Amino acid sequence: YTCSSHKLDEDMRLQFLKNDSVTCNDGSPAGYYIRESKSSKRWLLLLEGGWYCFSKHSCDYRMKTTRALMSSSPWPQTRKGTGILSPKPEENPYWWNANMVFLPYCSSDLWSGTKPKTEDSGYAFMGSLIIKEVVNELLSKGLDKAKVLLLAGISAGGVGVLVNVDRVEEQLRSQGHQGVQVRGLSDSGWILQTEQYKQGDCTHVLSCGPNDMVKIGFRYWGAAVPEVCRQSYIGAEWNCFFGPIIYPTIKSPTFVVRWLFDQAQMTISNVDMTGGVITEGQWNYIAVFAPACLAHELITRTYWMSVQVGGTSLPKALHCWERSLQDKNGSVRSCPLHLVDHCLWLNCNPTCPDIYDQPTGRE
Protein backbone atom coordinates (compact mmCIF):
# COMPACT_ATOMS: atom_id res chain seq x y z
CA TYR A 1 0.00 0.00 0.00
CA THR A 2 0.94 3.63 -0.42
CA CYS A 3 2.14 5.86 2.36
CA SER A 4 -1.07 7.85 2.32
CA SER A 5 -3.39 4.87 2.67
CA HIS A 6 -1.19 3.59 5.46
CA LYS A 7 -1.56 6.96 7.17
CA LEU A 8 -5.30 6.90 6.71
CA ASP A 9 -5.83 3.66 8.51
CA GLU A 10 -3.88 4.99 11.45
CA ASP A 11 -6.48 7.69 11.96
CA MET A 12 -9.35 7.26 14.35
CA ARG A 13 -12.82 7.34 12.81
CA LEU A 14 -15.87 9.14 14.14
CA GLN A 15 -18.77 7.03 15.32
CA PHE A 16 -21.91 8.74 16.61
CA LEU A 17 -23.72 7.01 19.45
CA LYS A 18 -26.48 4.66 18.30
CA ASN A 19 -28.55 5.87 21.23
CA ASP A 20 -29.15 9.44 20.11
CA SER A 21 -30.84 10.46 23.35
CA VAL A 22 -27.32 10.69 24.82
CA THR A 23 -26.21 14.08 23.60
CA CYS A 24 -23.83 16.99 23.63
CA ASN A 25 -24.87 20.28 25.26
CA ASP A 26 -26.88 21.38 22.21
CA GLY A 27 -28.79 18.12 21.78
CA SER A 28 -26.65 16.79 18.92
CA PRO A 29 -25.59 13.14 19.27
CA ALA A 30 -22.43 12.48 21.26
CA GLY A 31 -19.87 10.06 19.87
CA TYR A 32 -16.35 8.75 19.85
CA TYR A 33 -13.37 8.25 17.56
CA ILE A 34 -12.09 4.71 17.29
CA ARG A 35 -9.10 2.87 15.87
CA GLU A 36 -9.52 -0.84 16.45
CA SER A 37 -6.65 -3.25 16.89
CA LYS A 38 -8.16 -6.71 16.64
CA SER A 39 -5.06 -8.48 17.91
CA SER A 40 -5.10 -6.58 21.19
CA LYS A 41 -7.14 -7.07 24.34
CA ARG A 42 -6.20 -3.64 25.64
CA TRP A 43 -8.64 -0.77 25.35
CA LEU A 44 -7.73 2.85 25.93
CA LEU A 45 -10.65 5.25 26.39
CA LEU A 46 -9.45 8.84 26.55
CA LEU A 47 -11.64 11.68 27.85
CA GLU A 48 -10.87 15.03 26.26
CA GLY A 49 -10.56 18.19 28.39
CA GLY A 50 -11.37 21.86 27.87
CA TRP A 51 -12.74 23.65 30.95
CA TYR A 52 -16.53 23.82 31.51
CA CYS A 53 -19.43 26.24 31.74
CA PHE A 54 -21.86 26.63 34.62
CA SER A 55 -24.49 29.23 33.76
CA LYS A 56 -26.58 30.32 30.81
CA HIS A 57 -24.25 33.24 30.33
CA SER A 58 -21.01 31.21 30.41
CA CYS A 59 -22.46 28.42 28.24
CA ASP A 60 -23.80 30.86 25.64
CA TYR A 61 -20.35 32.42 25.48
CA ARG A 62 -18.71 28.99 25.17
CA MET A 63 -21.09 28.11 22.34
CA LYS A 64 -20.02 31.23 20.44
CA THR A 65 -16.28 30.76 20.96
CA THR A 66 -15.69 26.97 21.11
CA ARG A 67 -18.73 25.29 19.55
CA ALA A 68 -17.02 21.90 19.07
CA LEU A 69 -16.87 21.60 22.87
CA MET A 70 -20.69 21.71 23.01
CA SER A 71 -21.88 20.21 19.76
CA SER A 72 -20.89 17.32 17.52
CA SER A 73 -21.96 19.08 14.33
CA PRO A 74 -18.52 20.59 13.56
CA TRP A 75 -16.60 17.37 14.31
CA PRO A 76 -14.37 16.02 11.52
CA GLN A 77 -14.73 12.42 10.27
CA THR A 78 -11.28 11.40 11.47
CA ARG A 79 -8.69 12.43 14.04
CA LYS A 80 -5.03 11.64 14.48
CA GLY A 81 -4.05 9.84 17.62
CA THR A 82 -1.04 11.45 19.27
CA GLY A 83 1.01 10.57 22.33
CA ILE A 84 -0.65 7.73 24.23
CA LEU A 85 -3.23 7.48 21.40
CA SER A 86 -0.57 7.01 18.72
CA PRO A 87 -0.34 3.63 16.96
CA LYS A 88 3.38 4.19 16.27
CA PRO A 89 5.73 2.38 18.66
CA GLU A 90 8.24 5.23 18.37
CA GLU A 91 5.64 7.78 19.56
CA ASN A 92 3.84 5.44 21.95
CA PRO A 93 6.14 2.80 23.43
CA TYR A 94 3.56 2.12 26.13
CA TRP A 95 0.37 1.06 24.33
CA TRP A 96 0.83 1.57 20.55
CA ASN A 97 -1.02 -1.65 19.68
CA ALA A 98 -4.07 -1.04 21.87
CA ASN A 99 -7.62 -0.35 20.72
CA MET A 100 -7.79 3.44 20.81
CA VAL A 101 -10.97 5.34 21.63
CA PHE A 102 -11.08 9.13 21.91
CA LEU A 103 -14.14 10.67 23.54
CA PRO A 104 -14.58 14.31 22.50
CA TYR A 105 -15.72 16.53 25.37
CA CYS A 106 -19.04 18.14 24.44
CA SER A 107 -20.90 18.21 27.76
CA SER A 108 -18.97 21.03 29.54
CA ASP A 109 -19.63 19.34 32.89
CA LEU A 110 -16.32 17.71 33.91
CA TRP A 111 -17.84 14.49 32.51
CA SER A 112 -20.22 14.36 35.48
CA GLY A 113 -23.66 15.33 34.19
CA THR A 114 -26.86 13.34 33.91
CA LYS A 115 -29.26 16.02 32.66
CA PRO A 116 -30.95 15.82 29.25
CA LYS A 117 -31.84 19.00 27.41
CA THR A 118 -35.22 20.42 28.30
CA GLU A 119 -37.17 23.33 26.82
CA ASP A 120 -36.34 25.68 29.69
CA SER A 121 -32.71 24.80 30.50
CA GLY A 122 -31.56 25.04 26.89
CA TYR A 123 -28.54 22.74 27.34
CA ALA A 124 -27.98 19.08 28.12
CA PHE A 125 -25.26 17.99 30.55
CA MET A 126 -24.74 14.28 30.06
CA GLY A 127 -21.01 13.67 30.44
CA SER A 128 -21.36 10.72 32.77
CA LEU A 129 -24.07 9.14 30.56
CA ILE A 130 -21.89 9.61 27.46
CA ILE A 131 -19.12 7.50 29.01
CA LYS A 132 -21.66 4.87 30.03
CA GLU A 133 -23.16 4.68 26.54
CA VAL A 134 -19.75 4.58 24.80
CA VAL A 135 -18.68 1.66 27.01
CA ASN A 136 -22.00 -0.04 26.31
CA GLU A 137 -21.67 0.32 22.54
CA LEU A 138 -18.02 -0.81 22.55
CA LEU A 139 -18.95 -4.12 24.15
CA SER A 140 -20.14 -5.43 20.78
CA LYS A 141 -16.87 -4.31 19.17
CA GLY A 142 -14.71 -6.54 21.35
CA LEU A 143 -14.52 -4.62 24.62
CA ASP A 144 -16.44 -7.53 26.17
CA LYS A 145 -13.34 -9.71 25.60
CA ALA A 146 -10.85 -7.10 26.80
CA LYS A 147 -8.24 -7.80 29.42
CA VAL A 148 -7.74 -4.19 30.42
CA LEU A 149 -9.82 -1.06 30.01
CA LEU A 150 -7.75 2.03 30.78
CA LEU A 151 -9.98 5.05 31.33
CA ALA A 152 -7.66 8.00 30.74
CA GLY A 153 -8.37 11.72 30.63
CA ILE A 154 -6.70 15.10 30.46
CA SER A 155 -7.55 18.22 32.49
CA ALA A 156 -11.37 18.34 32.68
CA GLY A 157 -11.19 14.76 31.36
CA GLY A 158 -8.73 13.92 34.14
CA VAL A 159 -11.41 14.98 36.63
CA GLY A 160 -13.80 12.83 34.60
CA VAL A 161 -11.58 9.80 35.21
CA LEU A 162 -11.64 10.27 38.98
CA VAL A 163 -15.40 10.74 38.99
CA ASN A 164 -16.27 7.88 36.60
CA VAL A 165 -13.68 5.10 36.82
CA ASP A 166 -15.46 3.11 39.53
CA ARG A 167 -18.82 3.54 37.78
CA VAL A 168 -17.36 2.02 34.61
CA GLU A 169 -16.00 -0.87 36.64
CA GLU A 170 -19.42 -1.39 38.23
CA GLN A 171 -21.16 -1.14 34.85
CA LEU A 172 -19.01 -3.93 33.38
CA ARG A 173 -19.28 -6.11 36.45
CA SER A 174 -23.07 -5.81 36.63
CA GLN A 175 -23.28 -6.88 32.98
CA GLY A 176 -21.19 -9.96 33.62
CA HIS A 177 -17.89 -8.70 32.22
CA GLN A 178 -15.88 -9.02 35.42
CA GLY A 179 -12.97 -10.36 33.34
CA VAL A 180 -12.19 -6.80 32.18
CA GLN A 181 -9.80 -5.04 34.53
CA VAL A 182 -10.74 -1.37 34.78
CA ARG A 183 -7.99 1.14 35.57
CA GLY A 184 -7.70 4.92 35.60
CA LEU A 185 -5.12 7.38 34.31
CA SER A 186 -5.83 10.98 35.29
CA ASP A 187 -3.63 13.64 33.67
CA SER A 188 -3.88 17.16 35.10
CA GLY A 189 -7.23 16.57 36.76
CA TRP A 190 -5.87 16.70 40.30
CA ILE A 191 -6.98 20.12 41.50
CA LEU A 192 -6.42 21.56 44.98
CA GLN A 193 -9.02 23.64 46.85
CA THR A 194 -6.73 26.58 47.46
CA GLU A 195 -7.72 30.11 48.37
CA GLN A 196 -7.23 32.31 45.35
CA TYR A 197 -4.09 34.44 45.15
CA LYS A 198 -6.37 37.35 44.31
CA GLN A 199 -10.05 37.18 45.13
CA GLY A 200 -12.06 36.91 41.92
CA ASP A 201 -15.80 37.21 41.43
CA CYS A 202 -17.57 34.29 39.82
CA THR A 203 -18.84 36.11 36.75
CA HIS A 204 -16.31 34.45 34.48
CA VAL A 205 -15.43 30.77 34.33
CA LEU A 206 -11.74 31.48 34.75
CA SER A 207 -11.95 34.03 37.57
CA CYS A 208 -14.05 31.70 39.69
CA GLY A 209 -12.13 29.91 42.45
CA PRO A 210 -12.10 26.11 42.59
CA ASN A 211 -14.75 25.72 45.30
CA ASP A 212 -17.22 28.33 44.06
CA MET A 213 -16.95 27.08 40.51
CA VAL A 214 -17.63 23.47 41.38
CA LYS A 215 -20.45 24.37 43.81
CA ILE A 216 -22.30 26.22 41.05
CA GLY A 217 -21.51 23.61 38.41
CA PHE A 218 -22.58 20.65 40.52
CA ARG A 219 -26.19 21.84 40.61
CA TYR A 220 -26.26 23.20 37.09
CA TRP A 221 -25.04 19.91 35.59
CA GLY A 222 -27.04 17.51 37.75
CA ALA A 223 -23.68 16.00 38.53
CA ALA A 224 -23.29 12.37 39.60
CA VAL A 225 -20.31 11.67 41.86
CA PRO A 226 -19.48 8.21 43.20
CA GLU A 227 -21.79 6.92 45.90
CA VAL A 228 -19.04 6.30 48.48
CA CYS A 229 -17.76 9.88 48.25
CA ARG A 230 -21.27 11.36 48.11
CA GLN A 231 -22.23 9.55 51.33
CA SER A 232 -19.42 11.18 53.25
CA TYR A 233 -20.21 14.65 51.88
CA ILE A 234 -24.00 14.86 52.10
CA GLY A 235 -25.05 18.40 51.27
CA ALA A 236 -21.52 19.21 50.03
CA GLU A 237 -21.14 16.56 47.35
CA TRP A 238 -19.32 19.03 45.11
CA ASN A 239 -16.20 18.33 47.20
CA CYS A 240 -15.97 15.01 45.34
CA PHE A 241 -14.54 16.72 42.25
CA PHE A 242 -11.22 17.25 44.02
CA GLY A 243 -8.46 14.67 43.83
CA PRO A 244 -7.42 14.70 47.48
CA ILE A 245 -11.04 14.07 48.53
CA ILE A 246 -12.25 11.57 45.93
CA TYR A 247 -9.02 9.62 45.44
CA PRO A 248 -9.13 7.68 48.73
CA THR A 249 -12.65 6.47 47.82
CA ILE A 250 -11.66 5.11 44.38
CA LYS A 251 -11.34 1.31 44.21
CA SER A 252 -9.97 0.89 40.66
CA PRO A 253 -6.17 1.23 40.41
CA THR A 254 -5.69 4.84 39.30
CA PHE A 255 -2.45 6.53 38.23
CA VAL A 256 -2.29 10.30 38.73
CA VAL A 257 -0.15 12.55 36.53
CA ARG A 258 0.18 16.19 37.45
CA TRP A 259 2.66 19.02 36.95
CA LEU A 260 4.02 20.53 40.14
CA PHE A 261 2.96 23.99 38.93
CA ASP A 262 -0.19 23.13 37.00
CA GLN A 263 -1.37 25.96 34.73
CA ALA A 264 -5.08 25.28 35.15
CA GLN A 265 -4.61 25.28 38.93
CA MET A 266 -2.81 28.61 38.65
CA THR A 267 -5.58 30.00 36.46
CA ILE A 268 -8.44 29.14 38.82
CA SER A 269 -6.30 30.27 41.76
CA ASN A 270 -6.14 33.61 39.93
CA VAL A 271 -2.37 33.56 39.50
CA ASP A 272 -2.29 35.33 36.14
CA MET A 273 0.75 34.22 34.17
CA THR A 274 -0.08 35.45 30.69
CA GLY A 275 2.94 34.96 28.49
CA GLY A 276 4.71 32.93 31.16
CA VAL A 277 5.39 36.09 33.14
CA ILE A 278 4.94 35.83 36.88
CA THR A 279 5.50 38.36 39.67
CA GLU A 280 7.48 37.60 42.77
CA GLY A 281 4.31 37.74 44.88
CA GLN A 282 2.66 35.11 42.66
CA TRP A 283 5.74 32.89 42.66
CA ASN A 284 5.91 32.98 46.43
CA TYR A 285 2.19 32.12 46.70
CA ILE A 286 3.07 28.71 45.30
CA ALA A 287 5.86 27.95 47.78
CA VAL A 288 6.74 24.33 48.58
CA PHE A 289 9.16 22.39 50.83
CA ALA A 290 9.24 18.69 49.93
CA PRO A 291 12.20 16.55 51.01
CA ALA A 292 12.29 12.93 49.71
CA CYS A 293 12.34 11.33 53.15
CA LEU A 294 10.52 8.45 54.78
CA ALA A 295 9.38 10.44 57.78
CA HIS A 296 6.47 12.10 59.49
CA GLU A 297 6.32 15.53 61.17
CA LEU A 298 9.12 18.01 61.17
CA ILE A 299 8.45 21.36 62.80
CA THR A 300 8.61 20.19 66.43
CA ARG A 301 11.63 17.94 65.94
CA THR A 302 14.88 19.00 67.55
CA TYR A 303 16.63 18.31 64.25
CA TRP A 304 14.20 20.34 62.12
CA MET A 305 16.94 22.74 61.06
CA SER A 306 19.16 20.00 59.70
CA VAL A 307 16.80 18.66 57.01
CA GLN A 308 17.58 20.52 53.81
CA VAL A 309 16.37 20.64 50.24
CA GLY A 310 19.02 21.96 47.90
CA GLY A 311 20.92 23.38 50.87
CA THR A 312 17.95 25.23 52.40
CA SER A 313 16.36 24.19 55.70
CA LEU A 314 12.72 24.72 56.68
CA PRO A 315 13.45 27.49 59.26
CA LYS A 316 15.29 29.36 56.51
CA ALA A 317 12.41 28.82 54.04
CA LEU A 318 9.89 30.07 56.62
CA HIS A 319 12.01 33.15 57.17
CA CYS A 320 11.96 33.74 53.42
CA TRP A 321 8.20 33.23 53.31
CA GLU A 322 7.71 35.83 56.05
CA ARG A 323 9.90 38.31 54.24
CA SER A 324 8.00 37.72 51.02
CA LEU A 325 4.69 38.41 52.78
CA GLN A 326 6.03 41.60 54.37
CA ASP A 327 7.38 43.24 51.25
CA LYS A 328 5.30 41.77 48.43
CA ASN A 329 7.52 43.32 45.82
CA GLY A 330 10.79 43.45 47.69
CA SER A 331 13.59 41.33 46.38
CA VAL A 332 13.89 37.97 48.12
CA ARG A 333 15.56 36.27 45.19
CA SER A 334 18.37 34.77 47.22
CA CYS A 335 15.82 33.53 49.74
CA PRO A 336 14.37 30.32 48.34
CA LEU A 337 10.75 29.16 48.75
CA HIS A 338 10.52 26.43 46.13
CA LEU A 339 12.25 23.40 47.47
CA VAL A 340 11.55 20.02 45.91
CA ASP A 341 13.98 17.13 46.04
CA HIS A 342 15.29 15.79 42.73
CA CYS A 343 16.35 12.36 43.88
CA LEU A 344 13.58 9.78 43.84
CA TRP A 345 14.12 7.02 46.38
CA LEU A 346 13.09 7.06 50.03
CA ASN A 347 15.74 8.91 52.02
CA CYS A 348 17.91 9.65 48.98
CA ASN A 349 18.42 13.09 50.49
CA PRO A 350 21.43 12.78 52.83
CA THR A 351 19.86 15.21 55.32
CA CYS A 352 16.78 13.01 55.88
CA PRO A 353 16.24 12.20 59.57
CA ASP A 354 17.46 8.80 60.76
CA ILE A 355 14.29 6.70 61.03
CA TYR A 356 15.62 5.02 64.17
CA ASP A 357 15.70 8.43 65.87
CA GLN A 358 12.04 9.05 65.20
CA PRO A 359 9.45 8.48 67.91
CA THR A 360 7.15 5.56 67.05
CA GLY A 361 4.00 7.39 68.08
CA ARG A 362 3.53 5.10 71.10
CA GLU A 363 5.93 7.01 73.27
Residues that bind ligand K4Q (CB under 6 A): 49-51, 110, 155-156, 159, 191, 210, 214, 241, 264
Our answer to whether residue 57 is catalytic in this structure is no
Cβ-based nearer residue to ligand K4Q, 259 or 303: 259
C-beta of 223 vs 317, nearer to ligand K4Q:
223
Tell me whether residue 121 is one of the annotated catalytic residues.
no
CB of 159 to ligand K4Q, least distance (A): 5
Q: How far is CA 170 from the centre of its chain?
A: 21
Q: Specify the residue, 31 or 49, whose C-beta has the smaller distance to ligand K4Q.
A: 49
Nearer to ligand K4Q, 58 or 313 (CB): 58
CB of 240 to ligand K4Q, least distance (A): 10
User: Is 123:71 a contact under the CB 8 Å cutoff?
Assistant: no
| Residue among 40, 108, 155, 269 flagged as catalytic | 155
Judged by beta carbon, residue 48 or residue 169, the one nearer ligand K4Q is 48
Neighbours of 331 (CB within 10 A): 10
CB of 329 to ligand K4Q, least distance (A): 29
* Residues 224/112, Cβ–Cβ less than 8 Å: yes
257-279 burial, b at 16+ Cβ within 10 Å, e below that, comes to ebeeebebbbebbbbbeeeeebe
| H runs (alpha helix) in 311-355 | 314-326
Catalytic residue among 73, 232, 296, 327: 296
* Catalytic residue from among 40, 187, 262, 313: 262
Beta carbon of residue 213, minimum distance to ligand K4Q (angstroms, whole number): 7
Distance separating alpha carbons of residues 79 and 89, to the nearest angstrom: 18
Alpha-carbon distance of 60 to 56, in angstroms, equals 6
- DSSP annotation of 332 reads -
Q: How far is the CB of 185 from ligand K4Q (least distance, A)?
A: 16
Residue pair 356/310 in contact (Cβ under 8 Å)? The answer is no
CB neighbourhood size of 300 (10 A): 6
Is 155 one of the catalytic residues?
A: yes
Q: Which residues are catalytic?
A: 155, 262, 296
